[in-house]
Structure 1
Amino acid sequence: MKTSEILVVAPNFKKRLSGVTSTIVQLVPLQAQSLPIVAFGPGLPGHLPKLKVRQLPALWFRPRAKPVRIWHARRNVEMLPGIFMRDVLRMPLKLVFTSAAQRRHTAYTRFLISRMDKVIATSQRSAAYLEVPNQVIMHGIDLQRFRPAGSASEARASLGLPERRTIGCFGRIRHQKGTDLFVDAMIALLPQNPEWQAVITGRATAEHAQFDAVLKEKVKAAGLADRILFKGEVEHPAPYYQALDLFVAPQRWEGFGLTPLEAMASGVPVVAADVGVFADVVTDQTGQLVPADDPVALTRAIADWMGDRQRLTAASGAAYSHAQATFPLQREAAQIDAVYTELWNQPTG
């Protein structure tokens, strides 16, 4: 794409896979169907439209169709260069920031946010921690990518998983994500439920490698290494959701958390800790909320679901219907595009 045609840049300055990166990977191709938008940064998949480094100097020139371009940041490390380009280099830019954090921001982050032209919060909880005007736009899910399988058994076979009823916990492996809470629950429950197995996907970064190793050793010591399966980071998570009968999101803290949405879109009921946006998306018909960092409540809730096949079947259909009605990615894209349009309609200096 010619630089003169580009209207929106979505920077991604973190190489490792994260929820923010996943959002960009899903949203940008959809937005690009009706808007000249590009991603910018390392580690992005090849199918995304991208801004090349050599194109950066051309950002000094106004785009052909609008008075300014929009730089849509989602992290501090992306807000700062946007401010520099707009305020120091005097590039014709408007700055948008999406905040998912559910904690008081540092003084540095508050300063960066105060320099934005528009701020989006991903939930009402996130909005409560912002000290500037903002608009709440909840994340959506690619409902074509995340959808139920014709058969969970067939999905398991395609992944080379043993044929047992399957419970999953997906995401980065670390204390914050509560992976240890899930492992402890499985060690307690699987011996009494021989028809079930657990699957854990996600990456343990170098700083969490010891945490990961301790969990695997605990599973081995319990004699459950063949039924609590660590699959590492997977490039395409959708088939793993399709292989599940139940999903668990045991996070101790979460900014937003896409995994319960992805599970429900795949027709999988969810047991989730009451963190992030989970209380806004998990209903009594689609799953169950438990207090955060409460291993007893988590284990009890999982046990109840594992032992009630009729409840699982009913919640599977309800989860899928709820996702179709509430989580479409098109809704998120349209609401974000409306924010861009509002900025373009504002007078420029």
Structure 2
Amino acid sequence: MRPDERRPRVLLLTSSPLDGPDGGEVRLAADVLGALPDVDFVWFSQWPSRRRPPPERGRPVRVLSRDGLPHLPERVQSAAAGTVWARRVDLVHAFLNVGRVFPAFSWLRPLLLGGRPVVHTVPGVMDTRFLKHVRPLGTTVAVSESMARRLRSSNFGDVRVIPPMIGLEEWPYLPRPEGFPVVLFAGHHDPHGGVEAAIDSAVEAQRAGARFRLVLAMRGRPGQDTATLDEALRERAGAAGLTDFEVRGFVEDMHALIAAVHVLLFPPTALGGRTDIPLTVLQALASGRPAILSDLPRFADLGHAVLRAPAGDARRTGQQLAWLLDQPRSWDVLAERGRALVEDHFGPERFAARYAALYRELLS
């Protein structure tokens, strides 16, 4: 940018504050803010207290929120503030899942967002049935080729693909941890989200002779009774015959947790509203932790850097887990492949260059 050129102003439109809990929408928006220093951003901030330190750049707009999660009051405030600020910026960049209320929002887009150009990054699609009733907000960005195909087939028109980014310095490659193996599942209490499949797969691996500790790091959704749900998982794992497991709630320090595990086990049959390529998977691969995933089409972008088993096939998934824990050379190969994949396809430079080019195109 030339010294005499005015910096563009961009509204980061999210359904919850940017300094609230670190969900998929918030993480992507925060990464865009940090990757483009030549842009003046406007973003939503949690008030009166914050879950984590706010970004140091841009202009925060206060949103009254007790916990920073996207409850209905937060969504209403974000929509109202977005309606006001959309008239004061050069471009609106929305980070919104396609969920139950999104179709109505998309039809009200001219009223809510005015005539400014809009970029819509779609972290996830809660249910493909919602796509039948949606109008594109503007230029659409998918985080995977699989999602891009679904959006294009639903008449979204101009769909670009920009994968999420992982800070390579923040998530360095780590040697294999010593000691008793730890297997991690990190996810939500969502139907078909993978935690039940992870328990069943761990049981199969244990029957095959593998010895490890299974850690379930569970994040709650707004309105969920997470204590009751966590206790139900403990009962299920114990009844299934697991002898060494732990159910945790929200984990503040994912760096320390991923550093301590040997394998990430993530076998959902559906992702719901999660990012098409969950950030926990990329963080594990960047750290040199092999991952075993279900064979959902969106995970095909990860190629041979991960192991995949048929969705819902606990026996096959458990066999892969037992094999991987017993094969240190194969573990090393997958660890190196995972790190190389993240460096080549999910690095910050590539992420920043693609969004910067898209901004220039729409603002020219």
Same fold (TM over 0.5): yes
1:302 aligns with 2:321: yes
In structure 2, the CA distance between the partners of 1:151 and 1:311, relative to structure 1 (3 Å rule), is closer
What are the residue-to-residue correspondences of 1:97-108 with 2, within 5 Å?
97-99=120-122, 100-101=124-125, 104-106=128-130
What are the residue-to-residue correspondences of 1:322-341 with 2, within 5 Å?
322-341=341-360
Counterparts of 1:106 and 1:57 in 2: how far apart (Å)? 23
Specify the SS of the correspondent of 2:188. coil
Query: Which of 250, 260, 272 is residue 233 of structure 1 equivalent to?
Result: 250
2:116 maps to 93
Question: What's the TM-score, normalizing by structure 2?
Answer: 0.76
1:22 maps to 27
1:70 maps to 92
1:52 aligns with 2:70: no
C-alpha contact 2:13 2:82 (8 A) present in aligned 1: no
In structure 2, the CA distance between the partners of 1:133 and 1:146, relative to structure 1 (3 Å rule), is same
Q: How far does the alpha carbon of each residue in 1:206-234 deviate from its partner, in whole angstroms, 9 at most, with x for none?
A: 54745533221123346746x21222111
Superposed CA RMSD in Å reads: 3.3
Give, as a single letter, the amino acid of the residue that structure 1 aligns with 2:96.
R
Query: Which of 253, 262, 269 is residue 270 of structure 2 equivalent to?
Result: 253
Counterparts of 2:330 and 2:103 in 1: how far apart (Å)? 46
Query: Which of 152, 163, 171 is residue 177 of structure 2 equivalent to?
Result: 152
1:141 aligns with 2:157: no
93-102 or 301-310, which deviates more: 93-102
74-83 or 20-29, which deviates more: 74-83
C-alpha contact 2:203 2:241 (8 A) present in aligned 1: no
Query: Which of 37, 40, 45 is residue 44 of structure 2 equivalent to?
Result: 40
Query: How far off its partner does 1:322 sit?
Result: 2.1
1:344 aligns with 2:360: no
252-261 or 95-104, which deviates more: 95-104
Count of residue pairs brought into register by the alignment: 321
Counterparts of 1:233 and 1:45 in 2: how far apart (Å)? 14
1:174 maps to 190
In structure 2, the CA distance between the partners of 1:61 and 1:38, relative to structure 1 (3 Å rule), is closer
Counterparts of 2:138 and 2:174 in 1: how far apart (Å)? 42
Query: Which of 199, 216, 236 is residue 234 of structure 2 equivalent to?
Result: 216
C-alpha contact 1:189 1:303 (8 A) present in aligned 2: yes
Give, as a single letter, the amino acid of the residue that structure 2 aligns with 1:312.
W
Unaligned runs of 5+ in 1: 154-162
Specify the SS of the correspondent of 2:237. helix
C-alpha contact 1:253 1:276 (8 A) present in aligned 2: no
In structure 2, the CA distance between the partners of 1:234 and 1:316, relative to structure 1 (3 Å rule), is same
1:8 maps to 10
In structure 2, the CA distance between the partners of 1:197 and 1:53, relative to structure 1 (3 Å rule), is closer
Specify the SS of the correspondent of 1:323. helix
Unaligned runs of 5+ in 2: 1-5, 64-80
Give, as a single letter, the amino acid of the residue that structure 2 aligns with 1:327.
F
1:202 aligns with 2:218: yes
Specify the SS of the correspondent of 1:120. strand
Counterparts of 1:82 and 1:9 in 2: how far apart (Å)? 17
1:277 maps to 298
C-alpha contact 1:256 1:276 (8 A) present in aligned 2: no
1:110 maps to 134
Counterparts of 2:25 and 2:359 in 1: how far apart (Å)? 19
Q: Percent identity?
A: 18
Query: Which of 312, 317, 337 is residue 331 of structure 2 equivalent to?
Result: 312
Counterparts of 2:208 and 2:54 in 1: how far apart (Å)? 46
Specify the SS of the correspondent of 2:117. strand
Specify the SS of the correspondent of 1:106. helix
C-alpha contact 2:183 2:213 (8 A) present in aligned 1: yes
1:157 maps to none
C-alpha contact 1:26 1:142 (8 A) present in aligned 2: no
Q: How far does the alpha carbon of each residue in 1:118-159 deviate from its partner, in whole angstroms, 9 at most, with x for none?
A: 111222221222212211222221222222335624xxxxxx
In structure 2, the CA distance between the partners of 1:83 and 1:141, relative to structure 1 (3 Å rule), is farther
